[in-house]
Structure 1
Amino acid sequence: MDSLRIAATSCSPLIDFDPATGILRIEGESYPENSFEFYAPVFAWLEEFLRQPAGRIVLSVGLSYLNTSSIKCMIDVLDMLDAAHGAGRPACVEWHYDSENDRALDMAEEFREDVSLPFEILAR
């Protein structure tokens, strides 16, 4: 399976998904014109990856801003990982946030409340 890499822009995050390590990195700001179109390759790649008998998957997030539709897309990604975790696939989230940004911490905590997989919130 090939890696998935989408370069960051001023309004969309870096997506870096390496099947060898099982790490999906999403970093930057996320307010693309059409979030669902932007995240479609991520959903497709993740679905295919989760069908493989591979090891653990780590979602490493470092998003400083998400618009409403990006939040919905992130919920969809988290739901996919949560379902995989519930089915026995090792999966976890490492959510990195700016310690100066209380809203970012609140958002991470809200996401953590919605899933059962291990979810670590890390200040930077």
Structure 2
Amino acid sequence: MNPLHLEGTPDTPTITLNKADGIFEIAGRSLPEDVIEFYSPAIAWMKEYAKAPNPTTVFKFKLDYFNTASSKVILELLNALKDIKGMQVEWHYLEDDEDILDAGKEFAEQVTVPITFKAG
């Protein structure tokens, strides 16, 4: 399975999905003009990955800001992850960023995939 890497910009996060290296990460700011178009490759990649996943998968969200439209797609992505055996989600946030922490907690209430919160 080919890796997916989308380089971040001031308005879009960096997305790295690499089965061979075990790297599954979205990091940065998420304010794309067309959220569906931007995240579609990542959602499609994860659906394909779900057919033959690694024994353990740790998906890291390291977002420092995202808009409402992005939150809907993040929720869709989290829901896609729930069916992957051995899936773990890490929600990273800056220690003093209660907004990102609270957003992660809200996602955790809406999905069945386990989410671990990491300050730092």
TM-score range, shorter chain: over 0.9
Is 1:101 aligned to 2:62, yes or no?
no
Unpaired segments ≥5 residues, structure 1: none
What is residue 43 of structure 1 aligned with on the other side?
43
**Other structure's SS at 2:62 match:** strand
Structure 1 residue 24 displacement after superposition: 1.2
What is residue 115 of structure 1 aligned with on the other side?
111
Superposition CA RMSD, Å: 1.2
Instruction: After superposition, give the CA deviation of every residue in 1:11-38 in whole Å (9 maximum; x if it has no partner).
Output: 0000001111433100000010001100
Structure 1 residue 79 displacement after superposition: 0.2
What is residue 22 of structure 1 aligned with on the other side?
22
Unpaired segments ≥5 residues, structure 2: none
Q: Measure, in 1, the Cα distance between the counterparts of 2:14 and 2:46.
A: 16
Instruction: After superposition, give the CA deviation of every residue in 1:70-120 in whole Å (9 maximum; x if it has no partner).
Output: 101100110011133xxxx11010010011111111101111111222210
Query: What amino acid maps onto 2:113 in structure 1?
Result: L
Instruction: After superposition, give the CA deviation of every residue in 1:29-78 in whole Å (9 maximum; x if it has no partner).
Output: 00100011000100111111111253222210100111111101100110
Q: Measure, in 1, the Cα distance between the counterparts of 2:29 and 2:64.
A: 6
CA contact (8 A) 2:8 2:15 kept: yes
**Other structure's SS at 1:51 match:** coil
Q: Measure, in 2, the Cα distance between the counterparts of 1:53 and 1:71.
A: 25
What is residue 56 of structure 1 aligned with on the other side?
56
What is residue 81 of structure 1 aligned with on the other side?
81
CA contact (8 A) 2:63 2:92 kept: yes
Structure 1 stretches (4+) deviating beyond 3 angstroms? none
What is residue 2 of structure 1 aligned with on the other side?
2
CA contact (8 A) 2:78 2:113 kept: no
CA contact (8 A) 1:62 1:95 kept: yes
Relative to the length of structure 1, the TM-score reads 0.91
**Other structure's SS at 1:9 match:** coil
Relative to the length of structure 2, the TM-score reads 0.94
